[in-house]
A and B are shown apart, each in its own frame.
Chain A
């Protein structure tokens, strides 16, 4: 039994250490990477894009995108719904939509995004390739048609 104890702990620590060395980027870096991908997508579609600090959302950044009458701000948010109240305050009278793997929705599907976040975390820990479950908030002037943007490419 002592041998099983020592060997299992050694294997586990070895796996953990390799995990530490290979561990993914922090949440902020992940969000920035996702925003960078979004920036690339929007620029390719002809949007005029600029980066904006979202200090109210725990120091996150966002993208201001504008094309014709459409203008929106896009930022990564917590998948657990912790940012909804702050987004409501930030948006004031503007329109809020959420972008997840399910597409663009008017409400944040918290149960789905929570499950997606945890399952993606576990799947990636098993060294299986799966895109991060980034959740974006889209705050717009209400004159945007998101159907014309292939957001699925971000996942």
Chain B
């Protein structure tokens, strides 16, 4: 068996087991249409990443190096962990199989890329939640400071006074602007991997810019609830969440694509090398 084939199966086992939880729970909470429409309460960026990572590994399952004992040990460990019926533990399996694919890739760019993507996806899906739960007090206070700066009202902890003095907005974990930071990073990384662009200081600055844009959009959204508290359900509910979700996707991928297209030596995957003049023309 080839190494890439083994990692394909290892990744498939880890991904399907960890995502089974989200699918089962979504069907438990929503009707079937709602479960699918909300993409099982998981960002479409994450689903796209999984599809891409598996495609990268599957495309060359009959190519590359043969499996050795280290590969078998890594995939076996990931498989055992993935099968554990404990929530969130499955993300360790995704991380292990991703790290294995990454570190054993050698000159296999696609396998390395798949490995990096699988390791990175654990950031928004697992590590961010852990970090947030420890530092949520400070993060929510920072959120409230940003919202209060827009509403120009009093702030106390994670409370922001509603303009007009009719009460307080209480900013809780799921509303935090910072919950989407790692998702922004993930989208940025996917664009870099897609165009085979190495990370540079300029691209990191763009990534920070994307994160600030995402934080800004959510801050504006929460501030709108403050300005129009009677529209709370519309802004905070399914309609508001869906609209903001799509704005995030457009911002993340639009800005990241713009950033890599400006990189020296950028090669358009579909159109070949782009010169200085045509690069100008190819900008969206």
Contacts and interface: CB of A to CB of B under 8 A. Distances in A.
A131 interface: no
A118 B136 CA distance: 14
Contact of B79 (A8, A81, A110, A126): A8
A8 B86 contact: no
13 contacts: A5-B13, A5-B16, A8-B82, A20-B28, A56-B170, A58-B172, A85-B156, A85-B158, A86-B170, A88-B156, A89-B156, A89-B159, A111-B134
B134 A82 contact: no
A86 B144 CA distance: 13
A118 B133 contact: yes
A12 interface: yes
Interface in B154-211: 156-159, 168, 170, 172-173
Chain B: number of interface residues, binned into ranges:
20 to 34
Interface in B70-88: 79, 82-83, 85-87
Interface of B: 6, 9, 12-13, 16-17, 20-21, 24-25, 28, 79, 82-83, 85-87, 133-134, 136-137, 140, 156-159, 168, 170, 172-173
A93 to B, nearest CB: 15
A107 B274 CA distance: 61
A122 to B, nearest CB: 6
Given A1-B9, A126-B86, A82 B140 contact: yes
Interface residues of A, number: 33
Contacts of B133: 80, 114, 118
Contacts of A1: 6, 9, 13
B86 A122 contact: yes
A60 to B, nearest CB: 12
Contact of A80 (B85, B136, B159): B136
Nearest to A82: B172
